[in-house]
Chains A and B, each alone.
Chain A
């Protein structure tokens, strides 16, 4: 039949795709422990890639990572303390859910701790970032270049007196007078600076203790990654901090950026006043801007939109710093008045993953209090090797029992059902590997159950064929009629379940979602294999004298 050609092609393509997706899994699980260690040392990139593409095993079968977080309630009032842990738990659960079908364990421990366990994860660093961030989003204005310049010069003077080699030069006034607010009177400040500069001329070595590292780009100061630690020490010095005006703060960029061939990090001088926080955020989604740079599109609620509109309208052509957990994500120039929809450009060497993670934690909301990671361990599987073996044995035994039964009961047609059954399992595992789903012992039990249920469509078809055979029709007609008449039943019964799977995926979270994914994939696969593949195989028998069913 001509219509069969594309079905044959599609089926072959699907089988090849399935093998392609399962190949890393096969390689990974057939590798000996010593081969794995060797590969990890000799070729870490390939190793990480293989591990990422292989079907992941759950906490019960393979173990994973365990992070214990402590919610710092010291800043909260008594009322907020009550439910801070529970709120933090739900927010962290939402964030972890975004990892996909990861089968995590999240539970409260004691009065202020949260335990997060994730199955064999390829990127523990990213997981810790996602789990441990407070996700405090702030919009703040950047200090003007003129004021910034004055302030940095001021700080440079103080730093000069603080610098470790300052001890070598005997100076009478090591203790610098802290300035409450140098911008209160600019003329006075300018005068002070001149005075100090003159004074400092005697110790030229120290006059550029801070500025030697800094390179101003109009918005922020750039510091090479090698100097980052040194500068960070200086700006965190209590005397430097005390010298800052009350309404100004120094803040680092979240991540470094490649500029002129070197990794550099920006240091911002920001207004302390928080113009808007993430509390007004309604939605956040990762995206690319027109330069293909990762961004996070956000939407504010009505009140937030009004505040943001006023803020941006009054500060056109000035940079607006976007901070996450006190670090600057980026400080784009305000080009026009923005109301409730905006875009956070990700600074530095940000990747789309960073945008995705940022959107995730913004969507899930800010934690009610800062958290700190108090324990961070690798954990072994909760089940012994015997249980893992039992699961795999169960899979094989179940397959053999059901397959044998189908052949005994339906003869040659049973063989067709078995081929289809095998393809079902192959496709389902491939889909799980491709989606990064996690296989647990209950998951294996689910697949075993699928084996029992997957033959249903074929049973329906074969029973119909038997009815047709009894009426004495020709073989080809029996096959056609069998499929045709079983079609409505198969479609109706599977579509209802598919609707349920879709709804559970859309409205559910965590374990419910994982269940919905495997359920939905299983239904689509079994419908395809039963209606297309088994029919293709049976078509080869259409000229036979009798139908072996």
Chain B
């Protein structure tokens, strides 16, 4: 079976259109990033902290039941834990701070109690204690993660620089930023909240998308060695994208399949994660074809270098 026989699209010629699209995506991503940094975006309990209540039910109940009762009352992201202590049917529920912390802890606790009493009829819930809880991802952890990621990025840059060329290195990095920002922006528009899981998804997307770019670059490098004298740079790049096109699409397709399975089968907890992956794969595939290689072409057109 084969989807595409020998293609010969002129992807480079479409770069004006694709760059307009990309510009919109990047602006969106930057807006989302600012919103997150300045606290206007919705952050999960991982980053924002929230309210913790403890209380007990009159009769035994499953964590899953408590989850669905809370979800239908608007607390979809609540962390629920059964505690095996001296009190039977003791539960601990954590929810993130309400929008901008405008609601007091006790109000949140009352709403949680009402949600549990209404959602699980015939099994009364008695509230024992209310506490404010801090974020699970503290400031120091965030700083360390940022430093680690920055160093990782430099490592990748250097590797591509050594193995390919400085221009390839820059193009891959720019395209990767483009993809991560695009996912961030689209998730923001869809009003998904930022959690540790989304962050993991972004890191995964960055890894996937760099892979994707390098495979196209590898083909460009190979063709440059062979065809440099016969054809111009644009033809070489176009040829490389076309020849890797079926691989790009097949791999994207398998990752999309996997993401769809997570989205539809694995339950609400990882839904946002799957959504981010899905968007990331689509954007990453698009940018491998329409963003990364065209940067090389544009650069070469302005300051010809004659690649080795």
**Which residues of A does B touch, CB under 8 Å?**
59-60, 63, 66, 86, 89-90, 93, 105-110, 113, 115, 377-387, 390-391, 393-394, 397-398, 401-402, 405-406, 408-411, 441-442, 444-446, 448-449, 451-453, 455-456, 459-460, 463, 466-467, 485, 488-489, 492-497, 499-500, 502-504, 506-512, 515, 519
Contacts and interface: CB of A to CB of B under 8 A. Distances in A.
Main SS at interface, chain A: helix
Given A409-B1, A499-B152, A380 B83 contact: yes
Contacts of A409: 1-2, 250
Interface stretch (B27-35, B115-123, B181-189, B261-269): B261-269
B58 interface: no
B145 interface: yes
Interface stretch (B16-24, B197-205, B291-299): B197-205
B204 A446 contact: yes
B159 interface: yes
A38 B52 CA distance: 37
Contacts of B254: 402, 405-406, 451-453, 455-456, 459
A508 B270 CA distance: 23
A507 B265 CA distance: 35
14 contacts: A379-B82, A383-B64, A383-B67, A387-B269, A390-B266, A397-B261, A442-B273, A449-B258, A489-B215, A492-B218, A500-B155, A506-B148, A508-B144, A515-B203
Nearest to B245: A463
A467 B273 CA distance: 36
A391 B266 contact: yes
A383 B211 contact: no
A511 B267 CA distance: 22
B301 interface: no
Nearest to A401: B257
A449 B267 contact: no
Contacts of B208: 453
Interface residues of B, number: 79
Contacts of B85: 377
Given A445-B273, A456-B251, A503-B152, 16 more contacts: A86-B138, A107-B134, A377-B85, A387-B64, A398-B261, A398-B262, A411-B1, A445-B266, A445-B270, A451-B258, A452-B254, A463-B246, A492-B214, A496-B210, A497-B210, A512-B144
Interface string B208-223: 1011101100110010
B258 A384 contact: no
A393 B266 CA distance: 8
B261 A459 contact: no
A183 to B, nearest CB: 47
B124 interface: no
B235 interface: no
A379 B84 contact: yes
Contacts of B1: 408-411
A444 B266 contact: yes
B266 A379 contact: no
B251 to A, nearest CB: 5
A401 B140 contact: no
B171 interface: no
Contacts of B82: 63, 379-381
Given A384-B64, A455-B251, A500-B156, A489 B219 contact: yes
A448 B261 contact: yes
B257 A398 contact: yes
Given A86-B138, A451-B258, A456 B144 contact: no
A445 B262 contact: yes
Interface in B217-263: 218-219, 222, 243-244, 246-247, 250-251, 253-259, 261-262
Nearest to B149: A504
Contact of B265 (A378, A394, A408): A394
Interface string B146-185: 0111011101100110010000000000000000000000
B136 A459 contact: no
A406 B253 CA distance: 11
Contacts of B259: 449, 452
B255 A453 contact: yes
A449 B204 contact: yes
Contact of B81 (A109, A382, A507): A382
A60 B269 contact: yes
B83 A379 contact: yes
Contacts of B141: 93, 509-510
Contacts of B197: 442
B49 A107 contact: yes
Given A402-B258, A508-B148, A380 B63 contact: yes
Contacts of B266: 387, 390-391, 393-394, 441, 444-445, 448
B81 A66 contact: yes
Contacts of A377: 83-85
Given A387-B267, A509-B144, A493 B211 contact: yes
Contact of B67 (A86, A115, A384, A494): A384
Q: Which of A449, A497, A499, A509 has the most CB of B within 10 A?
A: A449
A504 B148 contact: yes
B43 interface: no
B46 to A, nearest CB: 9
A398 B64 contact: no
A459 B156 contact: no
B282 interface: no
B101 interface: no
B63 A496 contact: no
A224 to B, nearest CB: 36
Nearest to A497: B207
Contacts of A394: 261-262, 265-266
A502 B159 CA distance: 13
B98 interface: no
Given A497-B211, A503-B148, A510-B141, A405 B257 contact: yes
A372 to B, nearest CB: 17
B91 to A, nearest CB: 9
A508 B145 contact: yes
B148 to A, nearest CB: 4
B251 A448 contact: no
